[in-house]
Amino acid sequence: MKDVGSVLDLPLRPTTGDSSWFTEARFGMFIHWGLYALPARHEWVKHYERLSNDDYQKYFEHFDPDLYNPEIWADAAAEAGMKYFVITTKHHDGFCLWDTELTDYKITNTPYGKDAIAPMVRAFESRGLETGFYHSLIDWHHPHFRVDEMHPLRDHPDRKKLNESRIPARYTEYLHGQVRELLTRYPKLRLIFFDFSYPSTPGKLNAQGEPWEGKGHLDWGSEELVRMIRQLNPQILLDDRLDLPGQADAWDYMTPEQYQPDGWKTVEGQRVVWEACQTFSGSWGYYRDEETWKSVKQLLLMLIDTVAKGGNLLLNVGPTGRGEFDERALDRLKGMGEWMKRHNRSIYGCTMAPFEAPQDCRYTYNPKTNRLYLHVLSWPTGALRLQGLNDRFEYAQLLNDASEVRFVVGGEHEEFTGITLKLPVKSPNVSIPVIEIYLKPA
């Protein structure tokens, strides 16, 4: 982890939307759900297997999540300790989970026949979770979305011809229309996670030796889109994938994906609001045969590590084609919830601490309550030594059972000028033990 002090000296980049609830919440659920739950081998299956709309149509015709009950999903999220959720209204395959008026390529026209978004928002909000929408900028189904380097038909022999009839402005209009529709139907929407931009770069060539064609802010009409959104909902938070990095009101938070940053994310000398998005197993959509599932402990470590660096964790579930969270996801959520029940004080409202944590530990800090949380990733024998807290230390306890952790100033057996915590020999029986330290005012 990078040096704590120097990062915290940097100013925090202000957000245009309201980020106060977001940095308080710290832990959210991402949900990737759509037709790709049926092939169950990655949400990019249409791209990887170069499937045409016709090839992909069988998933539309067989989409019937008969066990879908968002009340069960919302319970699983709330019990895991999550405070908001972000659902894919549309992913790159173009399939819409809500009853939009702007296309027939939507859930209400599948055998399932019902809108999935409205009851989901109701269920999660009734448990106090905030709502966000992930909305794909990319659309591999729309007839006016030009075939580019990411498109399933990128290697089609008639690629040029296919593009001749495509009018990009029509797609832009469709994109804006759908966003307007969503914002109008969901005025309390807290955030939009647009995904993603891959602008063409001059001089870059594709495998055929032709200019590499991507898409960016001009294709999305990002400036206008942002203007419309800010007008319709001034509170809303926007992610950073609209390809307008230099425009202050075009994004509120950064979205590092599938990696843990070294420290607090910064841009041009400012700390930014940020959120790591992570998966249980690698893919975002339901992937039956994936065997790379992270353990509960690893996932908790990601959450703690993220908050210790001043960020949020958005952890993804890919529900099945029957409409359920599969047993592996439920197992991980349950395990995290078990820990969160007793340790969420070290997560909610917490951020990077202004102290350097000891080896094999992570600090988080709640500036409102003035408490420091020491997460002990590897339980030492007998003593844990803390630097820089002598004037601030008031009281310490294990967070799981509020049992006192005694301390001495100085080292007990060897020379040390800091504080030595006297630990029980046995680690508390929790995934990651936390010591709550009450600080005196600075």
DSSP H or E segment with residue 287: none
Contact 252, 237 (CB under 8 A): yes
List binders of ligand GLC among 44-73 (CB under 6 A): 44
List binders of ligand GLC among 231-260 (CB under 6 A): 257
Residue 145 binds ligand GLC, judged by CB under 6 A: no
N-term to C-term CA, the chain:
24
Phi, psi of 77 (to 5 degrees): -70, -45
**Rounded Cα–Cα distance for residues 101 and 179 (Å):** 12
Residue closer to ligand GLC by CB (options 223, 257) is 257
> Contacting ligand GLC (CB under 6 A), which of 93, 139, 148, 195?
195
Is 258 buried (19+), middle (13-18) or exposed (0-12) by CB count in 10 A? Answer: exposed
Smallest distance, ligand GLC to C-beta of residue 32, A:
6
Residue closer to ligand GLC by CB (options 277, 353) is 277
Smallest distance, ligand GLC to C-beta of residue 114, A:
24
> Contacting ligand GLC (CB under 6 A), which of 277, 313, 336, 374?
277
Smallest distance, ligand GLC to C-beta of residue 197, A:
10
List binders of ligand GLC among 166-185 (CB under 6 A): none
The tokens describing 288, both together, are: 């039956």
**Rounded Cα–Cα distance for residues 82 and 147 (Å):** 38
Q: Say how many residues touch ligand GLC, by CB under 6 A.
A: 8
**Rounded Cα–Cα distance for residues 102 and 175 (Å):** 9
Smallest distance, ligand GLC to C-beta of residue 275, A:
10
Question: What is the length of the chain?
Answer: 442
Residue 284 binds ligand GLC, judged by CB under 6 A: yes
Distance of CA 204 to the CA centre of its chain: 31
Phi, psi of 217 (to 5 degrees): -60, -30
Residue closer to ligand GLC by CB (options 71, 257) is 257
121 to 96, 129, 332, 354: CA distances (angstroms)? 15, 9, 23, 37
Smallest distance, ligand GLC to C-beta of residue 21, A:
21
Cα torsion through 91, 247, 259, 36, rounded to 10: 0
> Contacting ligand GLC (CB under 6 A), which of 43, 93, 213, 219?
43
Smallest distance, ligand GLC to C-beta of residue 392, A:
39
Contact 328, 316 (CB under 8 A): no
Smallest distance, ligand GLC to C-beta of residue 431, A:
26
> Contacting ligand GLC (CB under 6 A), which of 124, 196, 220, 373?
196
Q: Would you give the binding string for ligand GLC spanning residues 1-40, x where CB under 6 A is met?
A: -------------------------------x--------
Q: Token pair 């009734």 is at which residue?
A: 126
Interface with ligand GLC by CB under 6 A: which residues? 32, 43-44, 195-196, 257, 277, 284
